[in-house]
Amino acid sequence: MYYCRHLTYADLDRELLIIHEQVCKKLGIPVLGISSGARCPQCNKTVGGTEHSAHVPQNNASKLAEAIDVPMSDSNIKFRYARELFKNYDNIHRIEITNKHLHFDKGVKEDGFPQDVLVIKWI
């Protein structure tokens, strides 16, 4: 798990936390921890984040981080979680599924983020 020691949950768009809690409740699972939320540019670089990461508050107009990573290894939970995001949250524009976590974000086109993207990779 990775936490940026320079930023807090106050630097993260609260709606992401609400969505996360709602999805876990809908799936009937405990609210899973968040392995990465808001990151400063230095910490984002340290973890190999992209230069224009939605985890970095300075990269968007809201000045809040608009991405979270939720650690999960169970493929069935990943599938059900992603399906719930697709079906019920049209403000989520990108989902990334890895062997370690599920990432989702609200990065908008006006801030240079690609839209309606699903990325699957093993890290």
Model confidence at 1, pLDDT cuts 50, 70, 90, reads very low
CA-to-CA dists, residue 68 to 94, 123, angstroms: 11, 17
Q: How far apart are CA 52 and CA 111, in angstroms?
A: 9
The model's pLDDT over 44-74, given as tens digits with 9 standing for 90+, comes to: 999 888 888 899 997 777 789 999 999 999 9
The bridge status of strand 101-105 relative to strand 94-97 is antiparallel
How many domains does the structure of the chain reveal? 1
Domain residue limits at 82: 9-64+76-107
Residue 60 falls within a domain, yes or no?
yes
Asked whether residue 1 is domain-assigned, the answer is no
**Residue 115 is assigned to a structural domain of this protein:** no
* 17 part of a folded domain: yes
Name the pTM for this structure: 0.89
Averaged over 90-105, what is the pLDDT? 94
Domain membership flag for residue 89: yes
Q: Is 108 exposed, middle or buried (0-12, 13-18, 19+ CB in 10 A)?
A: middle
For residue 61, the one-letter residue type is A
Any domain includes 71: no
14: which residues sit within 8 A by CB, 6+ positions away? none
Per DSSP, the three-state class of 71 is: strand
Residue 87 resides in a domain: yes
Tell me whether residue 85 is in a domain: yes
